[in-house]
Structure 1
Amino acid sequence: MGEPGSSPVPTYGWDEIRKHCLPTDKWLVIERRVYDISRWADGHPGGSRLISHHAGEDATEQLIKDFRALRRAAKDMKLFEADPKFFSLVVGHILLMEGLAWLVVYFLGTGWVPTILAAVVLAISQAQSWCLQHDLGHVSVFKKSRWNYVAQQFVMGQLKGFSAHWWNFRHFQHHAKPNVFHKDPDVTVAPVFLLGESSVEYGKKKRRYLPYNHQHQYFFLIGPPLLTLVNFEVENLAYMLVCMKWADLVWAISFYIRFFSFYAPFYGIPGTLLLFASVRVLESHWFVWVTQMNHIPKDIGSEKHRDWVSAQLEATCNVEQSLFNDWFSGHLNFQIEHHLFPTMPRHNYHKVAPLVKSLCAKHGLSYEVKPFLKALVDIVRSLKKSGDAWLEAYLHQ
């Protein structure tokens, strides 16, 4: 109740609240209270796009009592504290690979065998750099957040040639709404590929930009080979120019200066461009298979307004733990734990995993763990399933 003489507090139903999800009209529900965030959204620390995805919804962390207790237990176990030694080893591993690739060319020459070997080693370095900058975007490795972000800019810019702001812009949306069309950029890939519910939608509307019933086959031609070489390069550059992220642009340019300074003396400009393209294609294969084996085979569709825990579990699965899987995927084989606890450093995922598994068993929630090869094959199977669903709807509805 309000104060004596004050106006009664208005109440709203969900039919009314959900209307306020427009670019200039955004409402948000937190702890059963309705907030108009239309003006405040532009100043949201995570970006206006991120908070706008929750417009017209209940954005309360609807974590069940046991999950709250689990999180408190994880904090008591100090599982949210990063180990500087671990991340120092990761940095050392990346720099070692960079140096090794140059030494291969320096001592063995520019023949096919040493060039291929150097490209593979550089691709490993690039893959591990993805993982490290991903860590720095989530985890407080340094006590001061400013240094944490500077480190991410260095890794993403100098070691990879991309913008840290661009990555965070994409990735934070993915974590907020995993596998939700038009809110998670990782699965909003139509009209090139159709995933989940979009397959039937395109079929019903008789849309046929590509032969989607064969997308599991042309995936190998335009998916893994071209993601980082073409899509990410273009999107990343456009983002830096449009959003005027000049510091990120300088960091990215420094990557290309270093790369060409290292390898142009051996290969010349054309040969260095070919080496660069080869590294990007190899890196792209790693990125697509490792990051999507946990998501594409899961539920993909429109907004279901699920609570936090259910939304993360429905959109993710794990891949079996092993020394190789942990290293090769940068611990992204623990995707469930990463999505439930995005600020937890990856070297602690295996410690919290048994607690998460027990919680899921208690409440009848799915906790899916796959062998590594099966997870990779499931990407192709899910593409074929979606393509077949499109064809069925296209021909018969």
Structure 2
Amino acid sequence: MKLEGKCGQNGSLVGRSQPHLGEEHQEQEKAVASAGAEVHVKQEANGKHEVPSKSLNRYTWQEIQRHSQEADQWLVINRKVYNVTGWADRHPGGRQVLKHYAGEDATDVFRAVHPEIDVVKLYLKPLLIGELAPGEPSQERNKNSELVKDFQDLRKTVEAMNMFDANLGFFFLHLAQILILEVLAWLTLYQFGSSWRVTIFITFLLTISQAQSAFLQHDAGHLSIFKKSKWNHLLHKFVICHLQGISGNWWNCMHFQHHVKPNIYHKDPDIKFGPLFVLGDLQPVKYGKMKIKYINYEKQHLYFYMVVLPLLIPAYLNLKSIKMMYLRRDWGDIAWVSSFYIRHFITFGPFYGVFGTLLLIYLVKFLESPWITCITMMSHVPMQMSIEENRDWLSTQVLATCNVQQSLFNDWFTGHLNFQIEHHLFPTMPRHNYHKVAPLVRSLCAKHGLQYVNKPLLKAIGDIFRSLKNSGALWKDAYYET
């Protein structure tokens, strides 16, 4: 699949692995040259590029921050300045991920979302246009340099602990669990027929299978389970497209925008629920003062039960996925998702027919939806939502996320997303290692006065509704204010 205008297999800031790497470098070198950047790239015999330090332009933060528009995007990574404007449309994670960090230091987010850092660095070199001037700090002046350094030291520590190495056995057992549930459902139907009791039982099995496959595709979408990225890519396609019937490329585009700027209005797609809901403290007041009343937001916590919980996956996400595959002409994902429906028609069609099989598919998704919706929302909706404030990576993630207390059941029921803080700080870390780094993260948060929120499971789910109710009350007060 071509990269132009499309999202690839991950949401990284630059490409993860690509054929014809030399051709990509040549194209980017021409783009940089045409933009007037004074970059002299030397091709060595071993295929590496070196940029003499004396040839680099020197920039201040004031100059860099002027290049934050969609048509003019610069990033700073490890004190080096990159012009990513021409690369944005070809970025595997979509142009929005780059746009969200234009004019900013992207060192920590770049490191956080790239599991194969040595490969992606090759893509950066043709985009290099300069470096920070010697007197400039490594981050913008509003950021706490000590906090940034402490977090970067923490990352080095967990890397030295091999916390980013995936346990293949763990993920094999997780996939086996899913496939066993799928096979058991079919064998039960084949053995006992399609009575209503059997249908209830296989619906129960398939609902668990679908929820657990959602967690597994989330793992495969973030990290390199296998050493070879192509196998990881195939696993992700198999789980999200074939087992779930959702476009993997669409999910990556949306999900990584959420990761780089969680709970930031107009940047995090996971909190774009207008005009159905108003979220946080700022949006309700804004809507209220502007006398916006698409729906009675005072009651939004009630229709969240009736509308979002059961319909988010079978209606919104599925239709959005189909729409984006069609508009992007994403034939690869269309083929993969088609295999999901073909498999169900072959497996269940002889017992339920075409209409009955479709009804079974969407009944399962209807039951899965409250499960996945609560797990994904409980760690973000009750937390702080704000406009862009250009915070450091640690503060950005900790203020927008919370954890749920650990137990064997909670780990299984949430797919280890009860460790959302650790997951957001280290998206490419295998989930079986979150609990090992949690004490280190908690200690760092305490040192810098950041609240590390850890809740019981039921309280975390209940806080979704309490937060919606509070936001609705803020809207009401602002709307009826004289």
Pairwise TM-score range, normalised by the shorter structure: over 0.9
Tell me which residue corresponds to 1:361: 446
Q: Distance in 1 between matches of 2:410 and 2:154?
A: 26
- Residue 226 of structure 2 corresponds to residue 179 of structure 1: no
Tell me which residue corresponds to 1:210: 295
**What code does the residue aligned with 1:189 have?**
F
**What code does the residue aligned with 2:314 have?**
L
SS for the counterpart of 1:117 is helix
Structure 1 stretch displaced more, 259-268 or 211-220: 259-268
CA offset digits 1:120-152 (Å, max 9, x no partner): 211110111111111111111111111111110
Q: Distance in 1 between matches of 2:200 and 2:58?
A: 69
Query: What are the within-5 Å matches in structure 2 for residues 33-182 of structure 1?
Result: 35-61=82-108, 64-182=148-266
Q: Residue 9 and residue 73 in structure 1: after superposition, are their counterparts in 2 closer, same or farther (change >3 A)?
A: closer
Structure 1 residue 332 displacement after superposition: 0.3
Q: Give unpaired runs (5+ residues) of structure 1.
A: none
Q: Distance in 2 between matches of 1:299 and 1:381?
A: 14
Q: Distance in 1 between matches of 2:90 and 2:186?
A: 44
Q: Distance in 2 between matches of 1:194 and 1:7?
A: 47
Tell me which residue corresponds to 1:198: 283
SS for the counterpart of 1:28 is strand
Q: Distance in 2 between matches of 1:295 and 1:10?
A: 36
Tell me which residue corresponds to 2:68: 21
Query: What are the within-5 Å matches in structure 2 for residues 303-342 of structure 1?
Result: 303-342=388-427
Q: Distance in 1 between matches of 2:164 and 2:57?
A: 44
Q: Residue 179 and residue 12 in structure 1: after superposition, are their counterparts in 2 closer, same or farther (change >3 A)?
A: closer
Q: Residue 12 and residue 226 in structure 1: after superposition, are their counterparts in 2 closer, same or farther (change >3 A)?
A: same
Q: Residue 77 and residue 339 in structure 1: after superposition, are their counterparts in 2 closer, same or farther (change >3 A)?
A: same
Q: Give unpaired runs (5+ residues) of structure 2.
A: 1-51, 109-138, 140-146
Structure 1 residue 286 displacement after superposition: 1.1
CA offset digits 1:204-230 (Å, max 9, x no partner): 111111111100000011101111111
What is the aligned-residue identity percentage? Answer: 54
SS for the counterpart of 2:379 is coil
Tell me which residue corresponds to 1:188: 272
Structure 1 residue 103 displacement after superposition: 2.4
Structure 1 residue 339 displacement after superposition: 0.5
Q: Distance in 1 between matches of 2:370 and 2:299?
A: 19
Tell me which residue corresponds to 1:225: 310
Q: Which one of the candidate residues 384, 388, 391 is aligned to 2:469?
A: 384
Structure 1 residue 7 displacement after superposition: 12
**What code does the residue aligned with 1:26 have?**
Q
Q: Residue 34 and residue 395 in structure 1: after superposition, are their counterparts in 2 closer, same or farther (change >3 A)?
A: farther
Structure 1 residue 323 displacement after superposition: 0.5
Q: Distance in 1 between matches of 2:61 and 2:167?
A: 47
SS for the counterpart of 1:225 is helix
Q: Distance in 2 between matches of 1:127 and 1:30?
A: 37
**What code does the residue aligned with 1:139 have?**
L
Q: Distance in 2 between matches of 1:8 and 1:336?
A: 38
Structure 1 stretch displaced more, 69-78 or 216-225: 69-78
SS for the counterpart of 2:177 is helix
Q: Distance in 1 between matches of 2:160 and 2:59?
A: 41
Structure 1 stretch displaced more, 167-176 or 40-49: 40-49
CA offset digits 1:253-292 (Å, max 9, x no partner): 0000111211121112222222111101111111100111
SS for the counterpart of 1:126 is helix
Structure 1 stretch displaced more, 129-138 or 54-63: 54-63
Q: Distance in 2 between matches of 1:301 and 1:104?
A: 50
**What code does the residue aligned with 2:415 have?**
G
Query: What are the within-5 Å matches in structure 2 for residues 268-307 of structure 1?
Result: 268-307=353-392
CA offset digits 1:62-108 (Å, max 9, x no partner): 66222222222211211110001001100100001111222232233
SS for the counterpart of 1:72 is helix
Across the two proteins, how many residue pairs are aligned to each other? 393
Q: Which one of the candidate residues 327, 344, 352 is aligned to 2:429?
A: 344
Note if contact 2:148-2:392 (Cα within 8 Å) is conserved in structure 1: no
TM-score, normalising length: structure 1: 0.93
CA RMSD, 1 decimal: 2.2
Q: Residue 34 and residue 206 in structure 1: after superposition, are their counterparts in 2 closer, same or farther (change >3 A)?
A: farther
TM-score, normalising length: structure 2: 0.77
Structure 1 stretch displaced more, 269-278 or 38-47: 38-47
- Residue 332 of structure 2 corresponds to residue 247 of structure 1: yes
SS for the counterpart of 1:396 is coil
Structure 1 residue 33 displacement after superposition: 6.1
